[in-house]
Amino acid sequence: MKRRKTFAVLVSLLLVVALFGTVLTGCSSKTANNNGGSAQKTESKPILIGGVAPVTGPAATYGKSTKQGYEMALEEWNAKGGVLGRKVKLVFEDDKADPTEAANAFSKLINDNHVVAIVGSVTSSCSLAGAPIAQRAGVPMITPTSTNPKVTQVGDYIFRACFIDPFQGTVAAKFVFNNLKARKAGVIYDIGQDYNTGLAEFFKKEFESLGGKIVAYEGYPDGTTDFNTQLTKIIDAKPDVIYSPNYYNDDGLIAKQARTLGFTGPIVGGDGWDSPDLFKIGGDAVNNCYFTNHFSKDSKDPKVQAFVKKYTEKYGEAPDALAALGYDAMNIMLTAIQNAGSTDGAKIKDALKNIDYQGVTGHIKFDKDRNPVKSAVIIKIENGKQTYVTTINP
């Protein structure tokens, strides 16, 4: 009799705890996601993912491609039933490739939209402006494309889907020294961008250690359109190649102006050259030039070919590296949320650390600094078209 009573008390106690628990979890996930509406079950509301990229401004083609990559990945997950049984929704912000705009975008996504994770941004200076905000808020972030090493050094919530510039600069220097047989190089770079200054430095270091000579090393302020002063100094020093690790608008103009000044050798660049606008700006001046990149649509890998086909059908143009990295980065983040079994920031961060993902830009597993170790491709521009030259493994 006594036992029965104790049992009944226990059962009712348990019921109270369970009820209370539901109310509590209901509340907490509502504050965490705050997707609006209160009568609905939390589970049926979409999971909000922040996306940042420059769709206007001086890096607009990067943003357009990246955003299309984000969207395509998201749509594929939703077509398969979403993540954790819920739909996923992109809340997108344009940072115009401006670090102040990027900081505002990250704050808005986190504080106003209450996104559970952020995919972005694209340029290294913008990711460096956003990363401390994500880190402080405990919101996991993955940049698809920012290659400057400092980005992931911001903290343990910050990841990237691309290789880093010490590798990219080394690949370029080796290619220039060994394949192009250059012994003298001139470098021209934007001093106002973390990506450009970093890549110029990493190239210089490796080229010199191979025995090459940097005959001129010329910086220019952000926003420059007339490069004659820097190019004259460089060309006077008689380099075999010019290394231009900048964004496409600058690279196109630099190539054009270098040709006008009489330079006929190859101009070599980094992933920043990957834009349909490069040839529009540079025209014939960028033919027979080379750049390092993350991805080539000409890869024979069946996974890449399927992606290229589907993307081209959807958007009416072939994917560039930014589209491919945007697609991989979004897939990695959604896979991590699925693996975490939760939209809790700390749990997603832990799941990201353990990711093992076969993407269209290669195999992605993070090292202890949250950078993937991946190969690079060399692209040559011929008749205004990108042609694949070779793949270089780390």
Closest CB 328 distance from ligand PHE, rounded Å:
12
Binding ligand PHE (rule: CB under 6 A), the pick from 212, 252, 265, 272 is 272
Of all residues in the shown chain, the one whose CB is closest to ligand PHE is: 195
Closest CB 97 distance from ligand PHE, rounded Å:
9
Q: Is 274 in the site for ligand PHE (CB under 6 A)?
A: yes
Q: Is 62 in the site for ligand PHE (CB under 6 A)?
A: yes
The residue among 48 and 119 lying less far from ligand PHE, judged by its C-beta, is 119
363-382 footprint of ligand PHE as x/- string (CB under 6 A): --------------------
85-124 footprint of ligand PHE as x/- string (CB under 6 A): -------------------------------------xxx
Closest CB 352 distance from ligand PHE, rounded Å:
20
Segment near ligand PHE (CB under 6 A); pick from 23-31, 78-86, 271-279, 358-366? 271-279
Binding ligand PHE (rule: CB under 6 A), the pick from 33, 35, 68, 148 is 148
Antiparallel, parallel or unpaired: β 213-220 and 141-143: unpaired
Binding ligand PHE (rule: CB under 6 A), the pick from 139, 158, 216, 321 is 321
Residues that bind ligand PHE (CB under 6 A): 62, 122-124, 145-148, 195, 271-272, 274, 321-322
